[in-house]
Amino acid sequence: MRWVAATIAYDGTNFFGYQSQCGVRTVQDELEKSLEIIFKEKIPTYGCGRTDTGVHAIGQVVSFYVPNDNMTEKNVKDALNAMLPEDIYVREIKQVEANFNPRAQATKRIYFYLIYVDKEPDIFLRNRVWWVPFALDIKKMREAARYFEGEHDFTTFRAGNDERNPIRTVYRVRILNYRKNFICIRIEGKSFLRRMIRNMVSALVKVGTGTWEPERIKIILEARQRSLAPGSAPAQGLYFYSALF
């Protein structure tokens, strides 16, 4: 018996998030179902990030033990990809130390948020981006983004049902503009509160449209009051990109 970590991509559109939940389709349940078929026993899995309904992953990390020592990492990858539904794909499997827990051990998580800026929507991107039909001022958004960096109390930007310690450290927020219509907000941190990234993104878009001045981010962050943040940016633009350990 040995432990492995799988790097997994999924299209979150048809999942009720990553984490197991009774009666709805989740990524974790699909993974565990496939593992049970392959190894003929229940194998518990440990994911790195609990992405919400509709949120995607390019590099979710999930650890579990492999009871069958005859199978190489490549064999486990191929077996899983043969069993898994078409909206989950195992990109890599590598051996890790016993009881490796990606959630507890991650030192950095990187998320992407994709915005599509155009007067008209692109139906082929409807589950992949947040469509914003007006120009965004990238320079102002970059100015605003700096206020998020560092250690702060993110009470203003968390979800109402997240009761954990609201102090989080955001290492870096980068705003990239590519192929004319796409804005990618890349956010790095050790860990995030529920809805925190989507709430940060919607605030940045308020700045981008000119509704808010960049300094407003600093003010509402310091106020530690949830009611001051705008509604969350839609789930379909968010991607769990990778985790470092």
For tokens 């997240």, name the residue. Answer: 162
Q: Which listed residue (52, 78, 87, 122) is catalytic?
A: 52
Q: Which stretch binds its own copies (CB under 8 A): 68-76, 87-95, 196-204, 207-215?
A: 87-95
Contact 122, 131 (CB under 8 A): yes
DSSP 236: G
Among 4, 6, 7, 10, binds its own copies (CB under 8 A): 10
DSSP letters spanning 70-117: TS-HHHHHHHHHHHS-TTEEEEEEEEE-TT--HHHH-SEEEEEEEEEE
173, 99 contact by CB (below 8 A): no
- Smallest separation (angstroms) from its own copies to the CB of 126: 6
The CB density around residue 184, as the number of other CB atoms within 10 Å, is: 16
Please confirm, yes or no, whether 52 is among the known catalytic residues.
yes
Residue number with CB closer to its own copies (5 or 84): 84
Residues 119-148 that bind its own copies (CB under 8 A): 120-124, 126, 128
Give whichever of 130 and 154 is closer to its own copies, judged by the CB atom. 130
- Which residue number, 122 or 163, has a Cβ lying nearer to its own copies? 122
Q: How far is the CB of 145 from its own copies (least distance, A)?
A: 25
Bridge partners, 189 (sequence order): 109, 170
Which SS3 state, helix, strand or coil, does residue 204 take? Answer: helix
Size of the site for its own copies (CB under 8 A): 16
Residues marked as catalytic: 52
Q: Under the rule (CB under 8 A), what is the footprint of its own copies?
A: 9-11, 56, 86-89, 91, 120-124, 126, 128
